[in-house]
Structures are given as structure tokens and as C-alpha cells.
């Protein structure tokens, strides 16, 4: 590659650009739209709480993938796309890190393409990427038949698969990966950071922190989500939702325990 070849900045989405899980951020509008039951919504809220406080290791991510693929089986693709389009600014705007927006703008000023790379479904990631002004998307592809999700995942953008997809995009667009950038929070994205010349760990989990030290990757701390338009910080809202979810789960467990004793 020459120094005149184009370059790109590859951003993970969840907990790197936004302070939550993109797949679970739309649980409320999906519930209100009739796609989720109350039980599904509760499970999703609890899963989001665990995602917020813990690292996205391979076992947790695999379980979440399987649960979500089973959950969306039979959903109409057009309805999902419509709900995401209608509620995007309500549920994603408040949790975007200011630091990520500044970094995306900086890369654009230097003439680099910005590509969002996420394990979430393409139908969720693409509108978010468009809102952020990204130039490309790598995301999981869900099986579709007769306009409905089959529950199969035809491409899972996770782990080594992210790195492979980045190489393929670079070959197609002519990116010089040795002069390109990568950003992620999770150890599962170590392969993604390894394929670019400039890797950065953003709010890294313990595993990625160790890998960053070994590979000489940079470390960044993002902690300023965009303020909610209605007042109050998105962080407090997320914590409030999590506390309510955990409270409900605890109440259910206590009730079951009491019934067993009786």
C-alpha cells in the first residue's frame, strides 16, 4: 500500500460509541409495538443490566446471541425497521458518547472513512450508522424468509469474523489497514484491533486491558453520553431501568421461594 491509499476508522458500537447494547435499546418500542411480551421485556431489561455491569465475554455473548435469535423468530422485518426508524432518536441519541462523536468527526476531517462494526443485527445497526454519518457497516445478518426472520444467523459479526469482514472490506475499498484505526471495549474484539495499525481500547474490560498493554494499543475513556433532551442524564435513566428490572426479578424469586415454603 502507498501512503496515498485510503484509510478507515473501525468502531465497535455497543459500549464504545453508545453506552448500552444496541440490540436491547429498542426493547420498549418493540414491546409497545407488540413484538415482545411482558416476560420477554423483563428478560431483556435484566439482560441489559447484566450487560451494563459485566464484560461481554464469549459465553455471555453467545448466550445473548442465541436468546435474541430465538426471540425475533417470526418477526416481520418491515415492522422492525419501521420501529427502529421511528424511535431511533428517542432511544439512541441519549446514550451516544460525546467523545465518540468528536473522534468520528476528527477522522472525517482527516479524510478517513468511518465504519461501524457490530454483532447486532444489520437492521438495527444501519440506521444508527446513518445517524452518525458513518461510511460503512459491518453487522450480523439474520435469515429472512417471506419477509420474516427465520431465527437463523447467516453471518455473525463477532470475534474473528469481524476481523475477516474488515479485511474483505479493505480489499474491496482499497483501505491501507496498516494506517487505519480500530476502537472497541471488549476482549472479543482483539482480532479486530489486531488487523489495523492503530488499535485503541475504549472503556476496556479486564481482558482487553491486558491485551492492550501487550500489543501497545492506546487506551481511551469515554464517559460523557449526550444529554437527554428531556433533562436528566441517560446514565441515571439506564441505572433506573436496571434497578427496576432487578427489583422485579428479585420480587419474582422471593415470591417463588415463599410459595415453595408454603
189 tagged catalytic:
no
Asked if pLDDT for residue 237 goes beyond 70, the answer is: no
1 part of a folded domain = no
Q: In percent, how much of the chain has pLDDT > 90?
A: 58
Per the listing, cell 428479585 goes with 250
Q: Across residues 73-86, what is the average pLDDT?
A: 93
The answer to whether residue 2 is domain-embedded is no
In a domain, 181, yes or no: yes
Region 55-83: mean pLDDT is 78
Tell me what pLDDT residue 22 has: 84
Q: How many domains does the chain have?
A: 1
Active site residue 14: yes
Identify whether 207 is part of a domain.
yes
Residue numbers of the domain that contains 15: 8-261
- Please report the pLDDT score of residue 8 as a whole number: 98
With cut-offs at 50, 70 and 90, classify the pLDDT of residue 4.
confident
What CA–CA distance (Å, rounded) separates 19 from 70? 25
Q: Is the pLDDT of residue 66 over 60?
A: yes
Query: What is the dihedral sign for C-alpha 240, 23, 130, 2?
Result: positive
Pairing status of strand 148-155 against strand 136-145: antiparallel
Contact 209, 190 (CB under 8 A): no
Query: Which comes out higher in pLDDT, residue 39 or 83?
Result: 83
Asked if pLDDT for residue 30 goes beyond 90, the answer is no
pLDDT-derived band at 242 (thresholds 50, 70, 90) equals: very low
Quote the CA–CA distance of 158 and 174 in Å, as a whole number. Answer: 23
Tell me if the pTM is above 0.85. Answer: no
Q: What pLDDT is attached to residue 96? A: 94
DSSP string of the chain, one letter each residue: --TTS--EEEEE-BTTTBSS-HHHHTHHHHHHTTSS-HHHHHHHHHHHHHHHHS---HHHHHHHHHHHHHHTTT-BHHHHHHHHHHHHHHHTGGGBBHHHHHHHHHHHHTT-EEEEEEEEEHHHHHHHHHHHT-SEEEEEEEEEETTEEEEEEEE---THHHHHHHHHHHHHHT--GGG-EEEESSGGGHHHHHTSSEEEEES--HHHHHHHHHHT-EEE----BPPPTTSS-HHHHHHHHHHHHHHHHHHHHHHHHHHHH-
Q: What is the mean pLDDT of residues 234-250?
A: 37
User: For residue 159, what is the domain's CATH number?
Assistant: 3.40.50.1000
Task: Give bridge partners of residue 113 from the DSSP assignment.
Answer: 8
pLDDT of residue 24: 76
Q: How confident is the model at residue 48 (pLDDT cuts 50, 70, 90)?
A: low
Which pLDDT tens digit goes with each residue over 163-215?
A: 999 999 999 999 999 999 999 999 999 999 999 999 999 999 999 999 999 99
Within a domain: 97: yes
Q: Looking at 12, 113, 189, 205, which residue is catalytic?
A: 12
Report residue 59's pLDDT band, with 50, 70 and 90 as the boundaries. low
The string of pLDDT tens digits covering residues 140-166 is: 999 999 999 998 999 999 999 999 999
In the predicted model, what is the mean pLDDT of the chain? 82
Residue 90 lies inside a defined structural domain of this protein: yes
Amino acid at each position: 500500500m502507498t501512503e496515498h491509499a485510503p484509510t478507515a476508522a473501525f468502531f465497535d458500537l455497543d459500549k464504545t460509541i453508545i453506552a448500552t447494547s444496541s440490540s436491547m435499546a429498542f426493547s420498549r418500542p418493540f414491546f409497545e409495538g407488540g413484538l415482545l411480551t411482558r416476560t420477554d421485556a423483563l428478560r431483556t431489561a435484566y439482560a441489559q443490566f447484566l450487560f451494563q455491569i459485566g464484560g461481554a465475554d464469549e459465553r455471555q455473548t453467545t448466550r445473548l446471541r442465541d436468546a435474541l435469535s430465538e426471540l425475533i423468530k417470526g418477526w416481520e422485518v418491515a415492522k422492525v425497521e419501521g420501529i427502529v426508524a421511528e424511535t431511533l432518536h428517542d432511544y439512541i441519541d441519549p446514550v451516544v458518547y460525546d467523545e465518540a462523536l468528536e473522534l468520528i468527526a476528527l477522522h472525517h476531517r482527516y479524510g478517513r472513512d468511518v465504519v461501524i462494526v457490530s454483532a447486532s443485527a444489520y437492521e438495527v445497526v444501519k440506521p444508527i450508522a446513518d445517524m452518525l454519518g458513518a461510511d460503512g457497516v459491518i453487522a450480523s445478518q439474520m435469515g429472512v424468509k417471506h419477509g420474516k426472520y427465520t431465527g437463523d444467523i447467516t453471518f455473525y459479526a463477532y470475534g474473528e469474523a469481524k476481523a475477516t469482514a474488515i479485511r474483505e472490506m479493505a480489499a474491496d475499498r482499497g483501505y491501507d489497514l496498516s494506517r487505519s484505526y480500530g476502537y472497541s471495549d471488549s476482549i472479543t474484539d482483539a482480532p479486530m484491533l489486531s488487523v489495523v495499525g492503530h488499535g485503541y481500547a475504549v472503556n476496556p474490560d479486564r481482558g482487553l486491558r491486558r491485551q492492550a498493554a501487550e500489543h501497545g494499543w492506546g487506551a481511551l475513556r469515554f464517559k460523557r453520553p449526550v444529554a437527554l433532551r428531556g433533562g436528566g442524564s441517560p446514565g441515571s435513566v439506564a441505572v433506573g431501568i436496571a434497578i427496576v428490572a432487578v427489583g422485579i426479578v428479585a420480587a419474582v424469586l422471593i415470591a417463588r421461594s415463599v410459595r415453595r415454603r408454603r
